[in-house]
Amino acid sequence: MAVLRILHYPDKRLHRVAKLVRHIDRRIRKLVADMAETMYLASGVGLAATQVNIHERVIVVDVSNTHNALRVFINPDIIWLSKARTVNEEGCLSLPGIYEGVERANQICVQALNEHGEKFKLECEGFLAICIQHEIDHLFGKVFIEHLSLLKQMQLKTKMKKSD
């Protein structure tokens, strides 16, 4: 396994749309393992391949306190969102130290493949649902602050450029 370099906002590569994974092979399983190691080392709860400059539809998530409940989503697709929404504070490994309130669906149903190529559906709510929505946004080139007002986005972009 290897620790991967996480891209930091406003890096333009974070806005690339990821491509579907056509074959789940040794390379994809290694990517999943490397992404998990990178996420855990960075004390994150989710990581999208886009964030490590690999533009394929792969995310890893572990919202457990013990970091032993890794979930892998390859080619994830949200097939249902609840109408009920809440604002929760989010952070991102690509925007270290930035936390802002983002409105998202309370519950979702996501369909994906696991690292063995098996198709599954997962209905979830709360923090797990928020994390999955956040990471899937990355696959479509969207960073969480893009859910905020344009003024707030500009302020955060300026702050991130100054910290580089």
Question: Which residue numbers are catalytic?
Answer: 135
| 134 in a known ligand binding site | yes
CB neighbour list of residue 89: distance below 8 Å, 6 or more residues apart:
99, 100, 101, 102
Whether the bond between 10 and the residue before it is cis, its omega within 30 degrees of 0, is yes
CA-closest candidate to residue 38, choices 11, 58, 18? 58
Where are any strands of DSSP class E within the chain? 46-48, 58-61, 71-81, 85-92, 95-105, 107-113, 119-125
d(CA 163, CA 22): 38
Strand, helix or coil at 109? strand
Binding residues, as ranges, are 92, 134, 138
Binding residues for Fe cation, as ranges, are 92, 134, 138
